[in-house]
Amino acid sequence: MILGAVLILLGLLFLAERVLDFDLGQYGWPLFVIVPGVLLFMAAFAAPPREGVGLAIGGAITVVVGLILAFQNATDLWATWAYAWPLVAPGGVGLGMAIYGAIRGLPDVARDGFRALGLGIVLFVAFGLFFEGVIGLSGDPFLVGSDVLPVALIGLGAVVLVGGLLRSRRT
């Protein structure tokens, strides 16, 4: 049934390409990464829980890579791989675990997945701010020579300081 649905979906996609005069090769090629990832993720729910979590992680990683490629293809910002990798791992790993754990009723898996996903997002933002804001990988840096960098450093320092104080009071 899954194979039949995939074939129908592919047929509709190729038909839309011809009717709408859309170049699937130029714009739609990331779908050849995203669709297998979705299928792999869906296969996770047909497997026992231990094996299923591995399939969910693999599927989520594949989908995230495909989505990043789709973004880069649409915007021509290929250099963003320098800081987009945390979205793949640990972000994609966490996304797969979080969704799988939530659907399968595995709270430990879901919790660990949300932690990994959060770490991936934090790393992506931090590296993105550095590579785009300080170095200017895709254009002019927006943090250097502005008031944003000092204020951001003061805010980050305050968060780290308060976090350290709260942790020391608990012990």
Contacts of 25 (CB under 8 A, 6+ apart): none
Predicted confidence at residue 2, as pLDDT, reads: 67
Predicted confidence at residue 114, as pLDDT, reads: 96
- pTM for the model: 0.77
* Cβ 112 vs Cβ 136: under 8 Å: no
**pLDDT grade, residue 111 (50/70/90)?**
very high
For the segment 25-36, what is each residue's pLDDT rounded down to a tens digit?
Answer: 777 789 889 989
Compute the distance between CA of residue 88 and CA of residue 95 in angstroms, rounded to an integer. 9
Contacts of 53 (CB under 8 A, 6+ apart): 44, 96, 97, 100, 101, 106, 109
Compare 7 and 118 and report the one with higher pLDDT: 118
Residue 14 has pLDDT above 90, yes or no: no
Q: What is the mean pLDDT of the chain?
A: 89
For the segment 42-58, what is each residue's pLDDT rounded down to a tens digit?
Answer: 999 999 988 899 999 99
